[in-house]
Amino acid sequence: QKEVEQDPGPLSVPEGAIVSLNCTYSNSAFQYFMWYRQYSRKGPELLMYTYSSGNKEDGRFTAQVDKSSKYISLFIRDSQPSDSATYLCAMRDSGGSNYKLTFGKGTLLTVNP
Amino acid sequence: DSGVTQTPKHLITATGQRVTLRCSPRSGDLSVYWYQQSLDQGLQFLIQYYNGEERAKGNILERFSAQQFPDLHSELNLSSLELGDSALYFCASSASLAGIGNEQFFGPGTRLTVL
């Protein structure tokens, strides 16, 4: 079983739709959870950064973490064509000897005008 | 623009050759991470340096090595290249090692093609 599982999609939605992206994980030591957006042939761009369980909202984006279920989500409201990209979840533990990120494989999202 | 720079953008080389990828972290960031992204494996952590010292190793092959210099830029050296080494190589940097503000910011990547 991979440490982080993410449905690769592709996911295609009409403009204005609410998008839900999800990841599950198996490592209970993960404490920090991130969502990155990656446009084609570009580097990942940090969208949301959360610690432990709970919700975090930033504009049209909401990140949710449910540590009891080992499940994280990213919601995009009023989706726009410019949101079309690959969305990667990433997570890491509290530190110790290294601070590497473990990534999901990414979900390809297309928002159609 | 994340503030992390990587050179070159593209690199085309032959099997058996050696290449060096360069990364300059964001101003003030002490920690540098290298990742490899391929279609089948996704983004995989390779190695981490903090203020010149190696801190962690991930799925890095013995043919690969890295270092971080006193000015905090880092280089990733790939030798005896194989076709399977073709991938995007990303560098990321963060301000420190600890704390909730330790977000990693990624550079634009170097696309390596081994022919």
Q: Which of B69, B63, B103, B65 is nearest to A36 (CA)?
A: B103
User: In which residue are the tokens 């022919």 written?
Assistant: B115
Strands B19-24 and B5-7, by their bridges, are antiparallel
Distance of CA A15 to the CA centre of its chain: 20
Say which DSSP state B85 is in.
Answer: G
Say if the Cβ atoms of A43 and B58 lie within 8 Å.
no
**Which residue of B44, B103, B109 is in closest CB contact with A43?**
B109
Say if the Cβ atoms of A99 and B107 lie within 8 Å.
no
B88 close to B108: Cβ distance less than 8 angstroms: no
Block means of pLDDT (10 residues each) for chain B, 115 residues, are 94 97 94 91 91 90 96 97 96 75 87 97
CA distance B80 to chain A (A): 26
Instruction: Using CA atoms of B48, B51, B53, B59 in order, give the dihedral in degrees to the nearest 10.
Output: 0
**Which residue of B4, B44, B48 is in closest CB contact with A99?**
B48
Encode pLDDT of A47-100 as tens digits.
998 888 889 999 999 999 999 999 999 999 999 999 999 999 999 887 665 678
**Per-residue confidence (pLDDT) for residue B1, from 0 to 100:** 83
- Chain A positions touching B31 (Cβ under 8 A) are 99
> Percent of chain A, pLDDT > 90?
73
- Chain B positions touching A43 (Cβ under 8 A) are 2, 4, 90, 106-109
